[in-house]
Structure 1
Amino acid sequence: MFKNFFKVTIRSLLKSKLFVFINIVGLGLALACCIVAFLNYEFATTFDKQHANYDELYQVSVRIDQNGSQVPFGIVPMPLGTVIKSEIPSIERASRFERAGVTIKRDNNVFNRTMAFVDQDFMAMFTFPVLYGNAESYHELSTVLISDRTAISLFGKKNAVGETIELVLTGKPNILLTVGAVFEEPGLKSTLQFQLIADFENFYRNFNIKKDDWSQFTDGLFIQSKDPSIVETAPALLQKYAAVQAEVKKDLPASGFWVQTMDELAFNSRDLNGTNLGNETLHPAHILVPNIMAVLILLLACFNFTNTAIAMSNRRLKEIGIRKTVGGSRAQLVVQFLGENLVLCFLALLLGLLFSLWLVPKYSDMWPNMDVFLSLRNNPSMIVFLISSLVLTAVLAGGYPAIFVSRFRPVAILRGNLKVGSSSILSKILLGFQMLISVMALVFGFAFVQNSNFQEGLDLGYNREGILMVPLNNSSEAERFRAVVQTNPLIEGAALTNGHVGWSSYRRAVKTEDNEGEVTILDIGLNYMETLGFKVLEGRSFTAENQEVDKQNGVVINQKMASRFGWEEPIGQQITMNDSIRLTVVGMVKDFYTFGLWAPIEPMILKLKDDKDLSMLIAKVDPKQAGATMDYLESTWSEVIKDRPARVYSHEINVLGEARDVNKNIVTMFLFLAVIAVVLSAIGLFTLVSINIQSRTKEIGIRKVLGASIARITTLINRPFLIIVGIASVLGGAVSVYFAGILMGSIWTYHVTPGLTSALIPILTIQLIALLSISGKVIKMAKRNPVESLRYE
């Protein structure tokens, strides 16, 4: 029986090689996109799950009182980590996590790396596999754990246990540390990112931090407990420490504590103030967009398959009639056709896996914060997904055609008065959905291209191009470095600063006599505003003549700040910060986008800092010479600062680069979706028209004999399809414009508003493509000799 089924299947597929090929390629592309979407989703939802104690791990964080609002932060007062286990009996383990950039040396090799200062329970709580040595050896203050990649960089081998590295400290003698163990460096699916591990005691010692200083914060405090109710009970038990912290940290007073699971941490990290754990999972839009792509393309391919299968059933009507006449049941026919569909979908799945070998790495390379790869051996969930996709696709694409063709009565079939073609209501509905999806894909792609152009050309309120940043360890280094480089003709302007737009700022509560609110503060030096190109609208900038006065109480504000406090004449207005510091507005600048286009423009204060607090050089250069200037700054660094590798950054790349990459990659994805959708729809439309022409060959011949023109015949055949395309275009355009705006709003605060233009060009494009894809076949048939058409069987 199976042998006969297999023969019938192969014979059926070979009879329609072109249409089978089209369906296999279409389904293969769709399944490849589904595989990418699954890997993308799996990457996001399995964040941090490599830890054996994942379900028992929690992060304790602080809430800060800001003008009466209890704002959640990711940080926590540093001394809390030393008392938390004694306060909450259900806690089995606890560890603080402080992440700091350090410079390490091995002979003449100098590297910047990230060191995690942790408590003694850390390696027992988290799973960071140790490859060599003793995982607990870091409890010795002269011992450090290093990652396998760091070991290779320093020593040229992974097993570096017993080797010595040098920790470079500013203003202090360097410290020699012995490698106690080598661990596997955390991958991109880990919230905690670091390359070295040291005992928390070393943090106190190296950075002169007092252990009982409640004004100091640490990046994270993690606990392990088998009691899930600790999320609700722990904050109440720790509440008394909020008052202790608030007493000594009046500018950031704690109002309480809160606890979150590791699952929540992965998604919340990007939205929490003060978070410095190293990584977070994908943005919700980054998870949603590939899923939308995969579903749309799979639906397109399935609709294509269904329409083709229904239209092609004419060729198998006699087979169905004979099989029913000799005793074949409808169930057997359904199984036969579903089996054929399953074979075809299996071939499509194999082709989809081949496509994925190219598509998955290309997709992974688009995003620096993720690393996905196709592996069946080590990913059983992937196998389950593929099997489920195979069955679902076979049923979705071929279920209805199998039931549809098996229901015909053998008498009607064998009499020859039964015809099934592309003119059925279902075929028209499916074709309409195909074209609607294609229009939506085109509109999404075009709208995001518009948005990319809009954001690239938007005035951010300062010079975004040709700005280089050089962070140094202290003001003396910064001043020395500036003195050397500012005479170079490549440097058009230079300034020292503490904060920088999109890089370093902080928030504080301020008030006036009748108003109060929270503002963002940027600590800067002289010439910073001129170097960045801020436009002063009223008053003045900071000047050397007024430097001493401005350092004490002068501030420059932005337009949003004046609007927030209702100042029509902002110059001379008085502000109080931290209940004691009185500030006077000396100037107002045009609004600028502090954090690019991700977040709304906020009230901003630019505050002049003392020279001893300025440790970053900002250089303005010709954008065309940015690369050469960076090379010059790096070479100069090695002459001025000999014990650390150079740190020279580009504002366009290191501050605005993420937004540009996100924009570019989203545009790429939607354009890819648009191309695939249009190609599949055009092929599907061509297939349906071809089959429709085959079923109407004699009709066309008769019409031509009776005098119908080629134009008349072409219009007659094209019109039903073009009407469907037109209706689908209007509906698809309206729906996609609406949802494109919603999707953009979930990613950016400032974006283009999709409108009529966003839909009109894609609609005209899909109409043209539809016309071209069917007209050639129709005109060729209309030109055919009617004698040949009347002989057609």
Structure 2
Amino acid sequence: MLNNYLKIAVRNLRRNKAYAFINVAGLSIGLACAMLILLYVKDEVSFDRFHRNGPNIYRVVSKASNGADVNYMTATGLLQGPRFAQNVSGIKEFVRVNSGNRDIKTGTDIKSKELLFVDPNFLSVFTFPMLNGNPGTCLRQPHSIVLTADEAKRQFGTTNAVGKTMMIKEEDAFVPFTVTGVTANCPENSSLQYNMLVPFTAKEEQMQNSESWFTFFLSTFVVLDPHADPRVVSNQMTRFYERDARAIFTEMLARYKQDPNQPMGTYYLQPFADMHLSTNLSATNGLQHSSNPIYSYILSGIALFVLMIACINFVNLTVARSVKRAKEIGIRKVVGSDRRQLVIQFMGESFLLCGIAFILAVLLAQLVLPLFNDLANKRLSLSYLLDAKLVAGYIGMFLLTGLLAGFYPALVLSGYRPVETLYSRFNLKGKNYLQQSLVVLQFTLASFLIIATFTIYAQFDYLTKADLGYDDSNVVLVSKDNMRHTEAAAFKAALLKHPEIAMVAPKNGGNWMTGARLKNDSAIGFNYETVDESFLPALKIPLIMGRNFSADHPADSVQSIIVNEAFVKKAGWTNPLGETVNFNFENNHIYTVIGVIKDYHFSALNEQIRPQLFTMKNTNPYGMFYIKIKPNTATTALKNIEQDFHQYFPLSPYEYIFKDAQNLRAYESEAKWKQIILFSAVLTIFISCIGLFGLSVLAAEKRTKEIGIRKVLGASVQHIAAKLSGDFIKLVFIALVAAAPLAWLAANRWLQNYPYRITLNWAIFAGPALLVVTIALCTVSFQAIKAALADPVKSMRTE
């Protein structure tokens, strides 16, 4: 009997190739989308779970409450690891991790590369398989270095690199480091990513100084005894910290004139495997690949949307085709088939289609995986399918899809009465409310995603094209760490000799943040910038009050500062010129405000403009140059910049980036999501439209005789086409009405994450509405016009 069911199923598919194609195409696309997103979610939840000690590894983190605000901190100082390990029961050992860049010399070539500075037991605590070397001893010597397999091949052409040396810059000289081990490459689903490991070192006086509790710059991990309770250990850590650091904390508050009631904060333990998806304690300070669970939720929702739309297509098309199979069902019932057998037959056909779609989905997923990896910033592989849980997930997806797509049609088809079907008196009763509701649902989902796409595109366009308050065009950034002012002046003078270079402005490297005191003894935090007199003119940052720094005023390099509007507002000044700021961390050095600049977006537009203070202080080092070049001279200018750089700084690596390109990098996440949502919207509208096309074909076949009569009575092609299309377009309009408020709520909530954002308006909703209606109209009108143009004589003869 099963063989007979299979033959009938295959014969039906052959006779209805268009119907089969639409169902298989929709299901395969939906399944492929779900497969890829399941890969993504599986990768996200598997982060950092491969370490043997994983369940017992925790990161030391802290929090401090200040009224209603709670500040979380993932960084620690030098002392947290060793002192907690010595004084808190339940902690077996600790590991400190910090990342930093060092110059590496290979022959005459010098490049800056990132190193991970770790305690010697790093490779004993974390599971990174060793290819060569001893994990317990390879990091004990001060000038030892451990490489990954790829880095060993890059440096020496082989993974057998133990005993070889590398020249790494320390202070002002290159020092030989000996390779003592080679590990396998870091897995992609690891928050700890490195190419080179070197031993973490701290001076003895730093370790004896209790102020090192508060030098927050690294990550500290501890390994607990398997029987220890993390909550009990956390409480013991906080109690010991309060005893050991209370005196120095109080002294530091008094020294820097801080609020004496400021809380010390409390320490607790965060499970290592929780870091990747944590929203308030993410992977930072030498850790990478921090993520947000919202991404998995959004992608899972998209997968559900696409799969639901594909299943809706299946149900709609199968029920709509049921009229054509009514006689077959009647004959089967007359010759003795019961309802159970008919249900098995139609469910079998559903699973056959799902099976074909599943095979095609695997092939399609493999084909588009490189594109998906690029969009999601992953390196996923379908080899993940070999994972037992994932295989079970896909089998479950297959069974669920087959049941969802086939159960209702099988139930409807098996319930036909044989007398009505054999005498051709059968028709679907009522208004087909279920079918219409499903069409509305799938177009509601598609419209929702298209509105989301328009919103994200509009916000991204705003972020990348908004006025930043300064001119970032034709500005080249060149980095050089710890540069004295005399060195910067000499290099600047050399660059300005080239006619294609308009201006040169040195500035501190990185992002300096600090705090100071005002006249009323209140504290203020700000971004601390060290520049020269060329910085503001080079970037065309407008002064709204006072004057710029000037070489004609020697005091500018000692006691003058310029602040932005946000600083003035935060300080509560009405007349900022002449106001003073007390740098209590510089022995109460007093600086005087000589100018106020207009606020500009020195950070990305997804951050609020913060108070900013500029100084020309000659003892602060510079870290980079802002080089303004003339338009259309980039090739020559970059060549001359590089030549001069190597002449003045022969032992430093040369790297550059254009400022406008750097600004765009700040929105890489938005750019990725823009593409992901766009592809999702295209998929949903495509699957919805092929389903709509299939329904329009079946509707036209069902009304063939009616169309013939209308033509004979004088109806025009346009009238008939409008009549056939109208029913479907009404459903699309209902879907748009349902999608609009849902999309507005979601878009409005998403935009709240941006301090600078677009305003939702009618155009963001009108555009998608017009697009959806146009696509739907084109989809159904093609078949409607084809039916209207048919020969009425042939139509009248059709039963």
TM-score normalised to structure 2 length = 0.91
Change (3 A) 1:416 1:24: same
Asked if the contact 1:36/1:290 (under 8 Å) is kept, the reply is no
Superposition map of 1:27-46 within 5 A: 27-46=27-46
SS in 2 for 1:115: strand
Give the partner amino acid of 1:711.
Q
For the pair 1:784 / 2:793, whether they are aligned, the reply is no
Change (3 A) 1:656 1:699: closer
Q: In the alignment, residue 310 of structure 2 is paired with which amino acid?
A: A
Report what 2:211 is aligned to.
Answer: 214
Match of residue 646 from structure 1: 654
Deviation of 1:426 (Å):
0.9
> Which residue identity lines up with residue 600 of structure 1 in the other structure?
Q
Q: Which residue does the alignment assign to 2:222?
A: 223
Q: Secondary structure of the residue that 1:138 maps to in structure 2?
A: coil
Q: In the superposition, relative to structure 1, how do residues 65 and 113 fare at CA in structure 2: closer, same or farther (>3 Å)?
A: farther
- How do 1:169-180 and structure 2 match up within 5 A? 169-172=170-173, 174-180=174-180
| Matching residue within 759, 775, 779 for 1:769 | 775
Could you tell me which of 291, 299, 312 is aligned with 1:303? 312
Quick check: 1:234 aligned with 2:237? yes
Residue 79 of structure 2 is aligned to residue 79 of structure 1: yes
CA change 1:518–1:169 in 2 (3 A) is: closer
Deviation of 1:164 (Å): 1.5
Which digits, 9 at most, give the CA deviation of each residue in 1:259-304, with x for residues without a partner?
A: 32223322348877x9421413324454344333322222221211
Deviation of residue 409 (structure 1)? 2.5
Structure 2 residue aligned with 1:532: 539
Asked if the contact 1:505–1:523 (Cα under 8 Å) also holds between the matched residues in 2, the reply is: no
1:339 corresponds to which residue?
A: 348
Aligned to 2:703: 696
Q: Please, which runs of 5 or more residues in structure 2 have no aligned partner?
A: none
Deviates more, 1:565-574 or 1:696-705: 565-574
Letter in 1 for 2:84: I
Q: 354, 360, 367: which one pairs with 1:358?
A: 367
Contact 2:529 2:615 in 1 (8 A): yes
Query: Cα deviations across residues 465-497 of structure 1 (Å, max 9, x unaligned)?
Result: 323222223224544543433322332211222
Structure 1 residue 361 displacement after superposition: 0.9
The residue type equivalent to 1:168 in the other structure is: K
Please say if residues 170 and 473 of structure 1, whose CA atoms lie closer than 8 Å, have aligned partners that are also in contact: no
2:491 equivalent to 1:484: no
Instruction: Give the secondary-structure state (helix, strand or coil) at the position aligned to 2:561.
Output: strand
The answer as to whether partners of 2:166 and 2:177 remain within 8 angstroms in 1 is: yes
What amino acid is the match of 1:710?
V
Correspondences of 1:393-432 after superposition (within 5 Å) = 393-420=401-428, 424-432=432-440
CA distance in 2, matches of 1:372, 1:45: 13
1:468 matched to 2:476: yes
Q: Which amino acid is the alignment partner of residue 147 of structure 1?
A: T
CA distance in 1: counterparts of 2:649 and 2:526, whole angstroms? 36
Question: Matched residues in 2 for 1:618 and 1:457: separation?
Answer: 21
Are 1:246 and 1:255, in contact at CA under 8 Å, matched by a contact in 2?
Answer: no
Offset of 1:92 from its aligned partner? Answer: 1.2
User: Secondary structure of 1:266's partner?
Assistant: coil
Shift of 1:576: 3.9
What secondary structure is seen at the aligned counterpart in 1 of 2:351? helix
Aligned partners of 1:386 and 1:266: how far apart in 2?
25
- What SS does the aligned partner of 2:147 have? strand
- 1:671-705 residue CA offsets vs partner (Å, 9 max, x unmatched): 22232222222222221111111111112222333
Partner of 2:158: 157
Is the 8 Å Cα contact of residues 496 and 617 (structure 1) preserved in structure 2?
A: yes
Instruction: Please report how far the alpha carbon of residue 342 of structure 1 lies from its aligned counterpart in structure 2 after TM superposition.
Output: 1.4
What is the aligned counterpart of 1:559 among 549, 556, 565? 565
SS in 1 for 2:275: helix
Q: Is the counterpart of residue 740 in structure 1 residue 743 in structure 2?
A: no
- For 2:208 and 2:659, the matched residues in 1 are separated by 37
Pair 1:786–1:269, CA change in 2 (3 A): closer
Do structure 1's residue 543 and structure 2's residue 550 form an aligned pair?
A: yes
> Which residue of structure 2 lines up, in the alignment, with residue 727 of structure 1?
734
Q: CA RMSD for the aligned pairs? A: 2.9
Residue range with higher mean Cα deviation, 564-573 or 139-148: 564-573
User: Map of 1:108-119 to 2, 5 A cutoff?
Assistant: 108-119=108-119
The 5-angstrom pairing of residues 262-273 of structure 1 reads 262-268=272-278
Kindly report which structure 2 residues correspond to 1:653-692, keeping only aligned pairs within 5 A, or say none.
Answer: 653-659=661-667, 661-692=668-699
- Give yes or no for contact 2:604–2:666 (8 Å, CA) kept in 1: no
Select between 245-254 and 766-775 the one with higher mean Cα deviation. 245-254
2-structure distance, mates of 1:422, 1:776: 27
TM-aligned CA distance change 1:622 to 1:675, over 3 Å: farther
Query: How many residue pairs are counted as aligned between the two chains?
Result: 781
Q: Residue 20 of structure 1 aligns with which residue? A: 20
SS of 1:495's equivalent in the other structure is: strand
**1:512 shift after superposition:** 4.5
What per-residue deviation string (whole Å, max 9, x for no partner) do you get for residues 134-181 of structure 1? 122211224221222221121111110111122222324x32222111
Match of 1:290 in 2: 299
Name which of structure 1's ranges 143-152 and 645-654 shifts more when overlaid on structure 2: 645-654
Task: Give me the whole-angstrom Cα distance separating, in 2, the residues matched to 1:329 and 1:92.
Answer: 69
- TM superposition shift of 1:123: 1.4
Q: Distance in 2 between matches of 1:66 and 1:648?
A: 41
Do 2:74 and 2:281's aligned partners in 1 also have CA atoms closer than 8 Å? Answer: no
Report the Cα offset of residue 428 of structure 1.
0.8
User: What one-letter code is carried by the residue in structure 2 that aligns with 1:563?
Assistant: K
**More moved, 373-382 vs 665-674:** 373-382
Match of 2:445 among 437, 444, 451: 437
Matching of residue 130 in structure 1 with residue 136 in structure 2: no
- The AA in structure 1 aligned to 2:511 is S
Tell me the residue number matched to 2:399: 391
Residue 574 to residue 88, structure 1, CA distance change in 2 (3 Å): same
In structure 2, what is the Cα distance between the partners aligned to 1:626 and 1:285?
41
In 2, the alpha carbon distance for the partners of 1:355 and 1:109 equals 45
Aligned to 1:139, the other structure's residue is in SS state coil
State the AA in 2 paired with 1:214: E
8 Å contact kept, 1:62–1:256: yes
| % same residue | 27
Q: Say if 1:284 and 1:600 are closer, same or farther in 2 by CA, change over 3 A.
A: farther
For residue 449 of structure 1, report the CA deviation from its aligned partner: 2.1
By how many angstroms is 1:456 displaced? 2.0
After superposition, what is the alpha-carbon deviation per residue over 1:748-767, rounded to whole angstroms, capped at 9, x for unaligned? 33222232100102211222
Change (3 A) 1:287 1:311: same
CA distances 1:67-89 after superposition (whole Å, capped 9, x unpaired)? 99663322212133322211112
Query: Alignment partner for residue 752 of structure 1, among 728, 750, 758?
Result: 758
**How big is the shift at 1:398?**
2.2
Q: Which of 450, 464, 470 does residue 456 from structure 1 map onto?
A: 464
- Inter-partner Cα distance in structure 2 for 1:523 and 1:70: 31
TM-score by length of 1: 0.91
Give 1:602's aligned residue: 610
Letter in 2 for 1:753: T
State which drifts further: 720-729 or 43-52.
Answer: 43-52
How far apart, CA to CA, are the structure 1 residues paired with 2:420 and 2:656? 81
